[in-house]
């Protein structure tokens, strides 16, 4: 039986007269990989921001693992178990890759050095651990962004375009890492524009259009849905 891990009910975010998220009700099951798609400006990033405390929603609720986390500060949501990466992965410059990992505030009980090393090895970036992070490629920066999120051992990770701008070989490796994490139990929601990538990795897809959640289903169901085609053609 499936169990909902992350749930929004009527989540709404406005910027002045613009309703960027319009009563979004959406549930992600524990252990699934959910894609989040929609035309540019449809509200995907705003949704992530409202879910993770970077924005305060105007209406609606966010529930994670049975706890109402609506309006919590972002660092508290991260500690509760919802990790999040950004479209543009921007590590701290003048710091090594390892120092970037260690800059994440982990709970006191964690041996952060050991965990950082394990994660760097898992992501195959341990060989550059002591190099300056500013010299990394775009794809390596994405891996470091994911690595920093993994320091908090989240149950659920929201990824904003994890493979965008990354060379195909490294993109494949990122997808493999995500699958492996998913096999170990991590739940994902992924904003991804590349339909080939999406098709390879998601269990289900949610579609936003003009701030509203219009369709949910498997990749095949969603990609053949008239409302989805119209949303993309109309933009
Ligand atoms: P997507 O990620 O799907 O491209 P966004 O969530 O970035 O969409 O944007 C949804 C809408 O909200 C857009 O019209 C965008 O211009 C607007 N928007 C997003 N963030 C802000 C902000 N901080 N202030 C004002 N408008 C914003």
Answer yes or no: is the C-beta of 193 below 6 A from any ligand 1 atom: no
Q: Could you tell me if residue 85 is left (phi over 0), alpha (psi between -120 and 50 degrees) or otherwise beta?
A: beta
Q: Is 69 helix (H, G, I), strand (E, B) or coil?
A: coil
Residue nearest to atom 22 of ligand 1 (CA): 15
Asked if pLDDT for residue 88 goes beyond 60, the answer is yes
Query: How many of the other CB atoms lie within 10 Å of CB of 204?
Result: 16
Contact yes or no for 54/107 (Cβ under 8 A): no
Residues in the chain: 235
Asked if pLDDT for residue 170 goes beyond 90, the answer is no
| Most ligand 1 atoms within 8 A of CB, residue of 39, 40, 41, 207 to mutate | 41
Mean pLDDT along residues 7-29: 98
pLDDT digits (tens, 9 = 90+) for 173-196: 899 999 999 999 999 999 998 888
| Most ligand 1 atoms within 8 A of CB, residue of 11, 16, 18, 49 to mutate | 18
Asked if pLDDT for residue 49 goes beyond 90, the answer is yes
The fraction of the chain above a pLDDT of 70, given in percent, is 99
User: What pLDDT band is residue 60 in, cutting at 50, 70 and 90?
Assistant: very high
* CA-closest candidate to residue 32, choices 168, 165, 217, 229: 217
Q: What's the pTM?
A: 0.93
> Which residues fall within 8 angstroms of residue 28, CB to CB, at 6 or more apart?
4, 5, 6, 7, 34, 156, 187, 189
As for the ipTM of the complex, it is: 0.98
The CATH code for residues 4-90+155-234 is 3.40.50.300
Mean pLDDT along residues 128-152: 92
Answer yes or no: is the C-beta of 44 below 6 A from any ligand 1 atom: yes
What is the dihedral sign for C-alpha 113, 118, 122, 124? positive
User: What pLDDT band is residue 169 in, cutting at 50, 70 and 90?
Assistant: confident
Answer yes or no: is the C-beta of 235 below 6 A from any ligand 1 atom: no
Asked if pLDDT for residue 30 goes beyond 90, the answer is yes
User: What pLDDT band is residue 101 in, cutting at 50, 70 and 90?
Assistant: very high
pLDDT score for 129: 96
Answer yes or no: is the C-beta of 36 below 6 A from any ligand 1 atom: no
pLDDT score for 2: 67
pLDDT score for 71: 94
What average pLDDT is seen over the chain? 93
Atom of ligand 1 nearest to the CA of 42: 3
Atom of ligand 1 nearest to the CA of 55: 23
């Amino acid at each position: 039986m499936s169990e909902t891990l992350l749930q929004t009910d009527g989540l709404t975010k406005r910027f002045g007269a613009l309703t960027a998220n319009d009563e979004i009700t959406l549930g992600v099951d524990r252990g699934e990989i959910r894609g989040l798609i929609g035309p540019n400006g449809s509200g995907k990033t705003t949704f992530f921001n409202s879910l993770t405390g970077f924005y305060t929603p105007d209406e609606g609720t966010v529930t994670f693992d049975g706890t109402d986390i609506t309006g919590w500060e972002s660092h508290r949501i991260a500690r509760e178990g919802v990790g999040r990466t950004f479209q543009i992965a921007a590590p701290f410059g003048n710091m090594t890759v390892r120092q970037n990992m260690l800059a994440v505030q982990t709970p006191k009980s964690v041996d952060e050095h050991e965990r950082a090393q394990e994660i760097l090895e898992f992501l195959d970036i341990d060989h550059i651990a002591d190099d300056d992070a500013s010299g990394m490629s775009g794809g390596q920066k994405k891996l470091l962004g994911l690595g920093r999120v993994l320091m908090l051992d989240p149950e659920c990770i929201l990824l904003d375009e994890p493979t965008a701008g990354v060379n195909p070989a490294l993109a494949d490796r990122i997808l493999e890492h995500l699958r492996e994490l998913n096999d170990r139990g991590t739940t994902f929601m992924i904003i991804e524009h590349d339909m080939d990538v999406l098709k390879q990795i998601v269990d289900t897809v949610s579609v936003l259009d003009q701030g509203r959640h219009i369709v949910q289903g498997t990749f095949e169901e969603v990609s053949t849905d008239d409302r989805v085609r119209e949303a993309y053609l109309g933009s």
